[in-house]
Amino acid sequence: MALVTISGFPCSGKTTRARELAADFERRAAVAVASGSSGSNFTIVVVDDEGSHVTRSAYDDSRAEKPARASLFTAATRSLNPSTITIVDSANYIKGFRYQLYCAAREAGVRVATVRIAAPPGKCKEWHDARSEEDKYAQETFDNLIQRYEEPSSMVRWDSPLFTVPWDEDLPADQIWAAATTGVKKAPTAAA
Ligand code: ADP
Ligand code: MG
């Protein structure tokens, strides 16, 4: 049904928001099915680093990061189908990677939406410092992930529709739900 790509700095609240969104979608899906407004049951799947066997240290160097991204991509792609809303909870900080995800969604004929979790680096650092040691990134990796972050843009088709969620504001769940369920379907085309 849809691919929802979460993107943001390390420790910006992506997982917190992805879970909130998934729980919200579960409720809406249950209501839609119960009221008969949905043709069939559909499921909400969260694809994340952990479930794709991507460790925090995978981001320490690009040699380790490539297979990690490939593993996340495979997990996300497998989940794309007409009856599933797939939420990809990862940094997704590379423009080219978001483009790849978009192309996979188009191939699967599902809708897309990008949700950028926006927290200033200082906030992310504060939250990161409060994390337990085993949950932390190496300091250099943390700084790198912020520095190399390629901000999503609503001007490019693979990032749009784009929802930017400031860290201290509510998730625009109504709008994201609308994009995922009634937004434009990405019809497969010959020219990728
Ligand atoms: P990410 O998935 O981007 O690494 P998390 O969702 O795991 O980020 O959040 C990192 C830390 O920041 C957590 O300890 C969480 O409690 C805290 N946090 C995240 N978002 C907020 C927020 N909006 N307000 C307060 N604390 C937050
Ligand atoms: Mg996370």
User: How is 2-62 classified by DSSP, letter by letter?
Assistant: EEEEEEESTTSSHHHHHHHHHHHHHHHHHHHHHTT-SSS--EEEEEETGGGT--GGGGSSH
CATH of domain 2-181: 3.40.50.300
Question: If you take atom 19 of ligand 1, which residue's CA is the nearest one?
Answer: 13
pTM: 0.94
Whole-angstrom Cα distance, residue 168 to residue 166?
6
Give the pair of three-digit tokens for residue 87. Answer: 């939420």
pLDDT at 188: 73
pLDDT at 53: 87
pLDDT at 36: 77
Ligand 1 pocket check for 14: Cβ under 6 Å: yes
Q: Report which of 9, 7, 192, 180 is spatially closest to residue 102, judged by C-alpha positions.
A: 192
Q: Is the pLDDT of residue 191 over 60?
A: no
Mean pLDDT value across residues 8-18: 98
Ligand 1 pocket check for 79: Cβ under 6 Å: no
- pLDDT confidence tier of residue 184, bands split at 50, 70 and 90: confident
Q: Where are the chain's structural domains?
A: 2-181
The interface pTM score, or ipTM, of the predicted complex is: 0.97
